[in-house]
Structure 1
Amino acid sequence: MNKSEGSTHVISKVAKDNQGEITAYELENGEIISKEQAVSLAKQGNISGVSVSTSKKGEEFLRSLPDQNKANNLESLPIIDDNDIY
């Protein structure tokens, strides 16, 4: 991923597997990144509106920061077209 120092991204769409788990994210610039890449960027403070959490299975994932707007929650974002993934 090429990014400028200090730039902050916004997640605009998500990809989900058959069980509804988010597996990839599309950024505002159209770039699609894996869950692992997104976690890494979020840890560096390069994705706004999210925090990194750990599941009961010990897997790291992104969680929307709480606010009054449910439309911007990761689970509510539009789905990435399968043809666009990787």
Structure 2
Amino acid sequence: MPNKSTIIKVKKNSSGDITAVMFGDESVHSIEEAIDMAKNGYIESVNVGKAKNGREYLRSNPNGTEGDNLDTKPTF
């Protein structure tokens, strides 16, 4: 099992879409890279969803706590 990274901050575009993520080691990856990493089990507490238009996106695993959702993470 790979060591898992934790997303601590997100970068959003003017529409509010997440375009990049920052991990606990302060490395920054595009959302496309992060989606691939999540598919391979490298990110803690997230999964990959698919929108109706077929676009993939990251989402927090459901746990009943809104405070740790990706949309509520600090931005950079």
- Specify if TM > 0.5: yes
2:9 partner amino acid: K
Aligned to 1:6: 2
Q: 1:24-63 residue pairs with structure 2 within 5 A?
A: 24-63=20-59
TM-score normalised according to structure 2 size:
0.94
- Structure 2: 5+ residue stretches without partners: none
Aligned to 1:79: 75
Could you list the structure 1 runs, at least 4 aligned residues long, displaced by more than 2 angstroms after superposition: none
What is the CA RMSD across the aligned residues, in angstroms?
A: 1.1
TM-score normalised according to structure 1 size:
0.84
Return the offset for 1:68.
2.3
Give per-residue Cα distances to partners, 1:27-65, cap 9 Å, x unaligned: 010001001100000000100110101112211110101
Aligned length: 76
Identical amino acids, percent of aligned pairs? 36
Describe the SS at the equivalent of 1:14.
Answer: strand
> Is the radius of gyration larger for structure 1 or structure 2?
1
- Structure 1: 5+ residue stretches without partners: 81-86
1:28 partner amino acid: G
Aligned to 2:65: 69
